[in-house]
Structure 1
Amino acid sequence: MSTFHDEFAQSADLRYLNHAAVGPWPKRTAAAVRKFAEENVLLGARDYPDWMKVEQRLRERLARLLNAPSTDDIALVKNTSEALSFVAFGLDWKSGDQVVISDEEFPSNRVVWEALKPQGVEVIQVSLKGPDPEGALLAACGPRTRLLSVSSVQFATGTRLDIERLGQGCKQRGVLFCIDAIQHIGALPFDVQASHCDFAMADGHKWMCSAEGLGVFYCRAELRQQLKLHEYGWHMLEHSGDYARRQWQPAASARRFECGSPNTLGAMALDASLSLLEEVGMQQIGEAVIERVIWLEQGLSAIKGVRLHSSRAAQRRSGILTFSIEGQAAAHVWEQLMSNQVVCLPRGPGIRFSPHFYTQSRVIEETLAIVQRIAMH
């Protein structure tokens, strides 16, 4: 894997531990965007058919990354929130229906369900603090529960849920299962079929190391036509290239969720970034991410006054590790870290570190030394 470290060229004095927010681009992604920009300057859209080939290749990469049965199950969307909105405002709700979520969700996976209140939909928030969070989530799914929507990895603490167990439980109960996978896809292996999920979504700008503005929406084939559409345009039509055609219907594939002109610039970037993840392999990437998180865990736990807020249980680990320093406000600790070129963010109960597979040992060791100095003052 060391041959891929050269793909990331952050400044020598930078310690980047912020992939749970926005990840740096690999060199190949920057090169793809530069090439695309130069083509636009010199040739305009002369080679538009070639751009569409890249977009199709991107769909194929995303289908493999999610282990989707077909590229027809993949929609290219602006972001995770848009995909969640397609589900929330696409289903035919009845007054009294319930949605179950956790009490640790990022606003995107809470607000969108709370926005259904005028339709009589009730949102049930379940604590993940107990010894069996999956059991608690499934226990909250009663006869009126229509859908369970959770982040497979919680943004503030990094808690990873057993999505296969949740998916199986939802299937047994006749409950739809939606996964906000933005803190999962690109960091750890993810499988829509093994998890029995009906919907999954993620942005490309975090662990997939691409640009903001383009993400993925997986919708199980049997459910595509059950989601009422609220956006219409030329691109989402079954015969999208036949502009003279008067009779129309939405595309049978997940392209039905893509109403207008595609984000070709974003597609060039995300296709390049995913080519790197494919070359390394998600199994190897996942192992490298967890290895670095454990390294940080062990180093931080050895520093007096440091408290870890992320679970150290193997099945709960993700690419996120959150900690605090006794007697010091998170904002103060964060300012000290950033002034020492440790890029991270205050989240939840403390400071969130999120290394990726390529994060060098130097970055981790230097960061731990900086935290030690901060804790001593």
Structure 2
Amino acid sequence: MKEQRQRKKMDPKMQGNAYFLYHSIGMYPGKARDLAAAMADFSVLWGTADDAQWGGVLPLRQRFIDRWRAILNAAPGTVTTCESVTQGFHTLLTALPKAHLAGKTILVGADCFPSNHFLLQRMAEHHGFTLKTVPFRQGASFVEDEDFLEAWTPDVGLALLTWVSSTTSHRIDLARMVAHGRRIGSLIGTDITQGAGLLPYDVHAPEVDFTISTSLKWMCGTPGAGVLYVSPRLIPHCEPELAGWFSQSNPFNWDISAFAYAPDIRRFDNGTPGCMAALASLPALDWHAKQDHGGILAHNRSLTLKLIEMADRLHLPLLTPRQPQKRGGSIMVRLPNSHPAPNLISRLRSDGISADARGQTLRLSPGIMTTMDGVTRLETCLTSALRS
């Protein structure tokens, strides 16, 4: 392991200029150093025999939440932490009044994050709702907006909108979707995981009822650092099943006969909050807050354009929309069946190029540490591999 760390430090190929994994784990310069420092500070705070632990940790958790509030343009008291997108979604669903789900339909697209679909499949029978999944058109790689809108009928009590697909980077027309949902009268939620931190997002424009995300991708955070936003219009109607001492306005209320939900997002908290992921991700969010976000997006757009041109030269079918306004920050291409994806990924890795695949779909997501030289090296390696 030590030898591998030294090789990464010394080898210019391992310095991030051919890093295409922002759809999976985001990177920024100095991430390892900042993460180590944050964990060292926590170790000192938590390992000192005094009573300063929670007084130091909880404000840091709140700072993590406030960083996310800025990204979402969310009001105080509307954002809290969760372990994952799936857990945050489950927390919201089980907190809703039964009339919102029982006998109703929940609508999702076939290109939603599979974990959310697995959750809904398991919950449907027990909670009395019907799961409707909008299918792909024959030969299509993502669900068309028109098909989703056609399936969004008055029986839909809740629709989960995947803002950017993790397998094609297709971006929905969010304003159009939300406007339709408002006419229908459905609750509207968004999973913004694959776009948050790269593309501008505002929970008020268009106004949604809830939003879920993780800090892993363009935000460059760590596992477990998810967030849940709930509209202040919806919060008072929600009674989370998983309740605990932090669900109250005063967590130090010990009267077991006088429990009352907090009036704001705190009602979605429960027992003693797990703060480690928020503290570990805070340096990345602090870094992100200081950046030129327009510049980061422009950098991504210039590199994704080059990736599209590369795909055309290599005759690799493009699964991502060509129009910038219809895609996120990734480019996905279909690899020929004659070249198994695991073998090609291994070849790229040996040349210091970081990418991944889902089946024969090669996923390429350039971020702040990716360079034009990295795109050139990627094309050279792919050209050689596809010819062999």
For residues 204-353 of structure 1, what are the structure 2 equivalents within 5 Å? 204-243=215-254, 247-303=258-314, 305-326=315-336, 327-347=338-358, 349-353=360-364
Distance across 1 between alignment mates of 2:216 and 2:156? 32
Aligned residue number for residue 175 of structure 1: 186
Q: Which residue of 1 aligns with 2:71?
A: 65
Which of 348, 369, 376 is the equivalent residue of 1:358?
369
* Distance across 1 between alignment mates of 2:10 and 2:208: 36
- Alpha-carbon offset, residue 23 of structure 1: 2.6
Cα deviation for residue 169 of structure 1 reads 1.4
Q: Which stretch shows the higher mean deviation, 257-266 or 85-94?
A: 85-94
Task: Identify the match of residue 84 of structure 2 among 76, 79, 85.
Answer: 79
Is 2:108 the partner of 1:101? yes
- CA distance in structure 2 between the partners assigned to 1:308 and 1:63 by the alignment: 35
Greater mean deviation of Cα atoms: 235-244 or 137-146: 235-244
Map of 1:185 onto structure 2: 196
Q: Deviations over 1:316-348 (max 9, x none)?
A: 221221113333222332222223232222125
Residues 114, 47 of structure 1: alpha-carbon distance in 2 compared, 3 angstrom cutoff: closer
* Structure 1 residues 10 and 189: alpha-carbon distance in aligned structure 2, compared to 1, 3 A threshold: farther
For the residue of structure 2 that corresponds to 1:365, the secondary structure is helix
State the 1:144 CA deviation.
0.9
2:132 maps to 124
SS of the residue 1:150 aligns to: strand
SS in 1 for 2:213: strand
State the one-letter code of the partner of 1:376: R
Give the gaps of 5 or more residues in structure 2.
Answer: 1-7
| Residues 109 and 180, structure 1, Cα contact 8 Å, conserved in 2 | no
Offset of 1:220 from its aligned partner? 0.6
The secondary structure found in structure 2 opposite 1:306 is coil
1:43-58 aligned within 5 A: 46-58=52-64
Alignment check: 8 A CA contact 1:201 1:216 kept: yes
Q: CA deviation at 1:80?
A: 0.5
Structure 1 residue 47 displacement after superposition: 4.6
Cα pair distance change 1:333/1:86, threshold 3 Å: same
When structure 1 is superposed on structure 2, of 200-209 and 41-50 the one drifting more is 41-50
AA of the residue aligned to 1:55: R
Unaligned segments of structure 1, at least 5 residues:
1-7
d(CA) in 2 for partners of 1:10, 1:260: 45
User: What are the superposed Cα offsets for residues 266-318 of structure 1, whole Å, 9 maximum, x if unpaired?
Assistant: 22222221111111143332232222222222223222x42222111221221
TM-score (norm 1): 0.89
Contact 2:79–2:265 (CA<8 Å) still a contact in 1?
A: yes
RMSD between aligned residues:
2.5
Q: Which residue of 2 aligns with 1:22?
A: 25
Partner amino acid, structure 1, of 2:89: L
**2:92–2:240 contact (8 Å) kept in structure 1:** no
TM-score (normalizing by structure 2): 0.87
